[in-house]
Structure 1
């Protein structure tokens, strides 16, 4: 709590006190920073009380009022730079407390003889009044903090609602829509700024918007709603608010039935997830699955190495579901998307307001299960040190607990960076690297397992076709050859994206090269497996590789020199080759 945040209110209070008592008033925060003042003191507001804060410090340390009748000569004042020559003639101060915690000090200061006389003439009454004013400031601080918390909650809820996959529509007592989130607009085929009109709202059954059900009760059913693009089948759930009123506010939750079915299917599939679900005949993949089987039930940490998009999260899940921990939680934290403070809270827990306890962090929530730390290379050094201590002790130590909490989980981390290089650079702890890299797993890139590209493509074709209620029988020869010949810098994630794009674009029963994103349509049908003897001329292959790299960066809207990064050559070499091949 910072008194600075309500400085205007405090200044109004001290001015009122000074007017009533005809004595100067001063307020300082916990760091002995002047927050408010009157008279000659006012010019020192927003300044730190250096070497003159000993009386206030005693007040905050003891939590009790302090009375000084002879400032500059009192024993408390001895360390002060004004000792023996203090401009103050008298001082009475008392602590400002919130929940037994001192957050500042308020003082009555006599700078003139008549002010000193008024201050000490009726000291008990003045002290009592000062304590009441301290309580008033504390109440304003609590009120401000409550307001800030409510504002934060409102912002969180607003953000959450806007990013929910479910559509949210709020209907007021007059039957008008007063809130709708982007997902609901999409489901109802509305524009970005449009609200449902009365005709659309009228399609929701009236008996579900009145007092026929209790407040907070949820009622759901499948409806066919007429939108501007035709009928749309949606699963509609109603939540009523304001119990006891004759009319109701209603929150309507909209879901796509097909998405519900897909989610249920994914949950069912996920419960049986194992290594057999990993598609691949590549020798590296076969060896990887064998190593995963051998180590699935070990307690030792696993570090998964692999380029972005190779499926490291999927491999971590497979280990979990194959192991004896399959019925326990699988908790994921991405170290790259959380701030340092947020990552610490998510991992180790954070204090619960109003209690002496802390909420469980991911390390505790994963109890008995698996904690997957993705992008571990992005973890700040401070969090690395804390994690290392936890792994070494296999226990969590909390301020609210005298005993360490035993750590019962399997830790799996993943990275697309070379951690040994980061250790050499000093941005990753060497001791943590060795602690995590007990069982290293190396996931090959898609370009290094070309024999798996088509089986993976067929899997994604079935998956995305089912999700989009489409039926595709096959991929034509040109489509397949392009898949095999492309170098896939985005790996399996990019392959899935390309197939999903094609599923949405193609209206026939077969995917063709024309179904592909633009940057893939100009790639020739060359692959390492399909090259004829005449295609093995190194000069021809080099020219083709450069031509394809130029196409890729062009489609991405990047400058031509970015192609050098794709090819693994210098810019000067690239431009010399472009001139040499007339590209």
Structure 2
């Protein structure tokens, strides 16, 4: 166990140096175990070492007495010292450091020169009085340190207890600013204490009656409160009590619990995803998983890029459910799937009466719904330039403003964006804001195409085969060697999504317990065997042109064109780029 003086070693050294500079003499201070805690001059280099042998210091500790030694060579107290014959000290003044009746150390004033010796001889009484006061100061510092340690222990003990409590606990000061919060409160309010420290309680817990106590000083129990948070109504029971200091209200502490416990399950209805759930063990994929795990434990915005169908959404979900925000909502929005005219209201929400057809009472946007959690914006490259400017403000200032409102709403949202487009090329073409790109591209993750991780193809094929076999109530056990060869030879331009579609088709067509080549989509079988697709490029290009001409080139028109062609809008965009139709 370290001594009391060792606990305040830095302070003791500072006091020793202060005494030395004032008296122009060397000082050494050691504890009751004869370990040197502080020293100046010659003894500075021996701090931390134990004093060997029997010396005057031992007598000071044993007898709790002060000593003034005018001449070390002739003094009786020094005769027992083993180092007397080699000692360079000429005179010494020793004073015990007392804590009650206990000696916790010794201060020693040392003369190495004749002038310093004469100072001790002629002013010994005055010097001893000064050193005695310094000893009292050191003793007081040890008491202060013990008090601080005790308070820290009690604080940690209290925090441990609070964090075991199932109810949310939150404390505010006399200005209604948040000063403490337990884990349960963080979970229920979808936030982190460090993120909201010193925030007004109404910014963290909108509509709460807790600040009333600061005005009237009246505690309340099981106050039923219904309030809207993140676009949903929640029912709380709240207890609150004022914190008094000398009869004056200095704050309040409250506990609360949700009556509608469904809120705690999170906004996202999808099952949690872990990185271990992402199928594949290739080196490429393993490296990306490790990078994504690092992203999960940060707060930075993540930009996931890769070809269509490479699994950007499942990586976004894994990042969210691995992060500290896993109990918060995961809200997703595909920027390419929403008509341009509606995208702004979907993102930022709107107030009642802000436009024709606006919902009574208004509507929160995706940012508000994702408060305390994660917002995943897929196909971010399809966001109109006008909205990109508003997005930039949200990322910079962490506030949103509903359409038709002048009120800013603070948000605590972690952003994950994804795209299959080359945003840097779009910046050069003036179709994507450079400043927004750098705000999004804080932690980039590039997903490899399936053709770059061919060792994962059969594991994925088997996984999708079993998944769809269960869905269709079929007993399919394996994939034939010939079908496996076809799957491995195919280039998979549609990546994992195309592979899953192929296996679903095979499951539907398979009559026995093994998937054969004939069960695979003809396009895949023929392409792998002859290198030519059944659907010739020219015919495909012509069909796309007809659809675009019919429905138009707007986001909404492209969505209708994709539907008429029987493909996803992301696939349509890929084919538009492939044939240079943009």
Shorter-chain TM-score tier: 0.3 to 0.5
Taking structure 2 as the reference length, the TM-score comes to 0.45
Larger radius of gyration: 2
Taking structure 1 as the reference length, the TM-score comes to 0.45
